[in-house]
Structure formats: C-alpha cells, structure tokens
C-alpha cells in the first residue's frame, strides 16, 4: 500500500478504500453537512425540487443562521425563516438560533460537533477551519450541500498536498493568523489551488487550538481545498471533554509524497498586515507606515475566539480608543461572549470606548454591524479584504491579528502592540 498524507488517509477511510492517490475521483461518506442563512436556503430549495423527504441523518446536518443575524432586514429574516422551518420539520438536532446562535466555524468545534478524522463539507468557503482539529473539511456549493443532505455522500477529487514546515521559535505577538498571512504573502492567493495545505513543525505543535483553527481557516485564501494539522496532545485536551462522537487521529506517513515542501524560519515572521485588496499583499508590522484607520473590528470565524478577546483585553486595559476610530468587538459564540464577560473583558472594552456586538458574521462580509463608507479604512481580524468586502467599493480593508487590531484602535493608525509602550 502506498504511503499517504493525513488528507489522503481520511478520504480513503471515508471512501471505503485501502488507499487513494492525488487526482483520483472518489465518493466519500460525510460526517457533517453544514449550511448557513445565506447558502442553506438554496440547498433546501434544491432538496425539495427533487422530491427528497428526509435528510440522511438529522444529527449530521448542521444549520447555523450567522451571517445576517440578528436579522438586519426583511430579506435576511426570510432567509432565516427558511432554515428555521426546515430544521423543525426535519428535527435537525444541530440547529442554532437566537441565544444559541454563533459564528458557525467557531461554534462547531466548541460544541464538539466536528471531531478529528471527520469529513466535513459546508456551503461556506471557510469550512476549511476544522482542519485545525485534524479533520478533512472543505467548502462546497449549495447544490453539493443538498446532495450531501440527501445521500450522506459526496464526490471528491483527491487533492495533492503541499507541506509547510515551520522551524524555530515564534516571535512575541505572532499567532496562527500571522503564519497563514505569511504563507499567502509568499505563495499568493492561488498558490495552493485545489491542494491540501498541511502545516507541521514544532511551532505548529506549540500553537493553541484557537490559533490552529485560525491558521486553517484561511487556507482557502490561498485557493486550497483544505488546510490541516495532525492532531496531538493539544487536540486531545481540547476534544476529549466536548466531542459528541468517537474520533480518530490520523497522521501522514513519514515517506508520504508531497507536491511541494516549503520551510519557514519563524525568526523571520513578525505580526503581519495584509493591505488592500488581496490577502497576499502582506507586510511585516515593522514595514507598515502610518496608515490612518477609521474602524477596527475584532471578531469573525478567524479571530473571534476567547484567546483573541483575551489578547485584546490585555492591550486595551487602561487605554482609550482613538477619538476617530470605531472599535467593534464581536465574540464568536454565546459561550465565548459569556466567558469574556465573566473574565472582565467587557468592562475593559467598554471603558476603552468599544462597541460589543452579539455573535454574528456581520461586518466581515459587508452584512451589517459595521459597514464602511466611501474612502473609509478598516483594520480587521477577519479573513478577506477584497474591494468592497466590508462596504463601499472605494473603502479599504486591512487584515491583522487581534493584538495589532487592539493597538491600532488605540493609536488611530496601524500599529503593533509594542507601539503602546512608547510615550
């Protein structure tokens, strides 16, 4: 049997095969089929149009209205109503609404819905987040979601894998967000097109789960089919108390074949900033000039987790947001919201002059809770900075980690955390 990567092993298992190889077309069983308030209504329409009556497994179809919730207008309310009625009709066990709703890609790992070794498909491009748990997870179209909801299976072309090896020690304030921005800055937004991105090395092993999820979340920004990290003791500690199903740890064979292997020295990686209008336009924080900012957003499926808010609270304590900056902080799930409040973060945020939002994708996709006007500039912990992504086509979006975001909110221009120490 040929040696395989972690991605190939998971796909082979779910296809009922001893081995698979890149380029092979397979039909694989799906553990989780995920939809949100933008994409699932289309899938539900397709589901009904072909006469389907029941989903393949009510415990494996997940519906999360998170993009335009709380509903911003009549159209978004109608979208969410479609999900709500379908979830109740099908008795979907993993339907999150109202006070249970959160940003889907933060909610599912937190609730133990996705576990290591899973095959997860979602009608949302950032479904690749779950690779941080050691799962194969990828975004699909709404029609594919409909097919998976009916059959519990989906076809895939087995991707080639690029191996990214990190060496050395992470510099202060550098997170998983910075590692993926560094990679995208190196290979470009199509540098991993339809390939798996496998992240390895001692610095990866030392990352928290929050940081691993953030790293894998943005694999799609390099065009990848998925991002993945082999599960280890950190993974076990995270999933053992929350996993609702049995899980399996997979790892690449030592002699597995890769399309490419790239190595990075972490000593060379500072906190990164992606300039408009592509995630590949990255600079080290030391290379960034004095760019005045109108709005800062800390949140999203990339950086709205507890660790992210903890870093922001640490830097904002005793500080005030610049008088020309709107700082919006969005905890990604109700639990993160509650934990942050109980930890005293909200008091710090409010004293600093921040706005605290309920869990929502909101401004990330230009939905609501922070739309930009013409000419405005935002620095955000989200994952995309395409032209018009967060509002007016002539606005600008800069991407960074939560520490840079917090420092920027205080200084009024793009700045690293060390700038807060300077008098």
**Spatial distance between the Cα atoms of 250 and 247, rounded to a whole number of angstroms:** 10
The reply to whether 244 and 301 lie within a common domain is no
- Tell whether 421 is covered by a domain: no
The residue to which tokens 């194969």 are assigned: 136
The reply to whether 42 and 150 lie within a common domain is yes
Q: Tokens standing for 400?
A: 């960074």
**Spatial distance between the Cα atoms of 60 and 90, rounded to a whole number of angstroms:** 12
Identify whether the C-beta of residue 148 lies closer than 8 Å to the C-beta of residue 138: no
**Spatial distance between the Cα atoms of 305 and 350, rounded to a whole number of angstroms:** 18
Beta 153-157 vs 25-29: how paired, if at all?
antiparallel
| Number of other residues whose CB lies within 10 A of the CB of residue 240 | 10
What pLDDT is attached to residue 99? 93
**Spatial distance between the Cα atoms of 59 and 63, rounded to a whole number of angstroms:** 11
The reply to whether 247 and 297 lie within a common domain is no
What pLDDT is attached to residue 91? 97
Of 354, 339, 347, nearest in space to 402 by CA: 354
Mean pLDDT of 286-303: 96
The reply to whether 149 and 44 lie within a common domain is yes
Number of domains making up the chain: 2
CATH number at residue 260: 3.30.499.10
- Tell whether 422 is covered by a domain: no
pLDDT digit string, tens, across residues 40-89: 999 999 999 999 999 999 999 999 999 998 899 999 999 999 999 999 99
Helix, strand, coil % in the chain, rounded to nearest 5: 40, 20, 45
The reply to whether 277 and 215 lie within a common domain is no
Mean pLDDT of 176-185: 98
The reply to whether 77 and 148 lie within a common domain is yes
The reply to whether 155 and 53 lie within a common domain is yes
The reply to whether 366 and 253 lie within a common domain is no
**Spatial distance between the Cα atoms of 354 and 401, rounded to a whole number of angstroms:** 17
What pLDDT is attached to residue 240? 96
- Tell whether 28 is covered by a domain: yes
- Tell whether 39 is covered by a domain: yes
pLDDT digit string, tens, across residues 352-404: 999 999 999 998 888 899 999 999 999 999 999 999 999 999 999 999 999 99
| Number of other residues whose CB lies within 10 A of the CB of residue 18 | 10
* 252: CB partners within 8 A, 6+ apart: 4, 5, 6, 9, 163, 198, 230
Angle at CA of residue 125, ends 87 and 66, nearest 5°? 40
pLDDT at residue 423 is higher than 80: no
Measured CA to CA in angstroms, residue 174 lies from 33, 195, 351 at distances of 33, 25, 26
Per the prediction, the chain carries an average pLDDT of 96
- Tell whether 409 is covered by a domain: yes
DSSP-derived letter for residue 258 is -
What pLDDT is attached to residue 422? 59
Report whether the peptide linkage leading into residue 378 is cis, meaning its omega lies within 30 degrees of zero: no
- Tell whether 245 is covered by a domain: yes
- Tell whether 34 is covered by a domain: yes
- Tell whether 89 is covered by a domain: yes
* 81: CB partners within 8 A, 6+ apart: none
Of 376, 401, 368, 398, nearest in space to 386 by CA: 398
The reply to whether 251 and 303 lie within a common domain is no
What pLDDT is attached to residue 252? 97
Which one of 230, 264, 298 terminates a domain?
Answer: 264
Which one of 264, 288, 316 terminates a domain?
Answer: 264
The range of the structural domain enclosing residue 286 comes to 272-415
Which one of 264, 281, 314 terminates a domain?
Answer: 264
The reply to whether 119 and 233 lie within a common domain is yes
The reply to whether 248 and 310 lie within a common domain is no
**Spatial distance between the Cα atoms of 328 and 279, rounded to a whole number of angstroms:** 21
The reply to whether 91 and 240 lie within a common domain is yes
338: left (phi over 0), alpha (psi -120 to 50) or beta: alpha
pLDDT at residue 297 is higher than 60: yes
* 77: CB partners within 8 A, 6+ apart: 71
Identify whether the C-beta of residue 61 lies closer than 8 Å to the C-beta of residue 90: yes
Decide: residue 75, CB within 10 A, 0-12 exposed, 13-18 middle, 19+ buried.
exposed
């Amino acid at each position: 049997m040929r040696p395989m990567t972690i991605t190939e092993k998971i796909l082979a298992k779910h296809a009922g095969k001893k081995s698979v190889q890149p380029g092979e077309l397979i039909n694989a069983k799906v553990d989780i089929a995920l939809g949100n308030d933008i994409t699932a209504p289309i899938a539900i329409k397709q589901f009904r149009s072909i006469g389907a009556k029941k989903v393949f497994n009510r415990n494996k179809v997940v519906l999360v209205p998170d993009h335009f919730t709380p509903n911003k207008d009549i159209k978004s309310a109608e979208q969410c109503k479609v999900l709500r009625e379908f979830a109740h009709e099908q008795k979907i066990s993993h339907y999150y609404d109202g006070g249970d709703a959160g940003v889907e890609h933060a909610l599912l790992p937190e609730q133990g819905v996705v576990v290591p070794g899973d095959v997860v498909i979602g009608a949302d491009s950032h479904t690749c987040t779950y690779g941080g748990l050691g799962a194969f997870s990828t975004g699909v179209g709404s029609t594919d979601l409909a097919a998976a909801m009916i059959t519990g299976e989906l076809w895939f072309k087995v991707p080639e894998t690029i191996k990214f090896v990190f060496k050395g020690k992470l510099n202060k304030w550098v997170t998983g967000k910075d590692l993926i921005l560094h990679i995208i800055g190196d290979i470009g937004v199509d540098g991993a097109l339809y390939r798996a991105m496998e992240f390895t090395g001692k610095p990866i092993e030392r990352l928290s789960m929050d940081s691993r999820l953030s790293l894998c979340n943005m694999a799609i920004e390099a065009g990848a089919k998925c991002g993945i990290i082999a599960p280890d003791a950190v993974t076990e500690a995270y999933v053992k108390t929350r996993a609702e199903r049995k899980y399996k740890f997979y790892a690449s064979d030592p002699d597995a074949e890769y399309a490419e292997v790239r190595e990075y020295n972490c000593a060379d990686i500072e906190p990164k900033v992606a300039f408009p209008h592509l995630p590949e336009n990255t600079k080290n924080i030391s290379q960034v000039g004095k760019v005045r900012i109108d709005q800062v957003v800390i949140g999203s499926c990339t950086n709205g987790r507890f660790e992210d808010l903890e870093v922001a609270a640490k830097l904002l304590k005793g500080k005030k947001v610049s008088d020309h900056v709107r700082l919006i902080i969005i905890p990604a799930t109700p639990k993160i919201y509650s934990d942050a409040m109980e930890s005293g973060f909200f008091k710090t945020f409010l004293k600093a002059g921040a706005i605290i939002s309920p869990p929502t994708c909101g401004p990330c996709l230009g939905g609501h809770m922070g739309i930009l006007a013409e000419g405005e500039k935002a620095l955000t912990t989200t994952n995309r900075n395409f032209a018009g992504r967060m509002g007016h086509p002539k606005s600008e979006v800069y991407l960074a980690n939560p520490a840079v975001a917090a420092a920027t909110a205080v200084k009024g221009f793009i700045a690293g955390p060390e700038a807060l120490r300077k008098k």
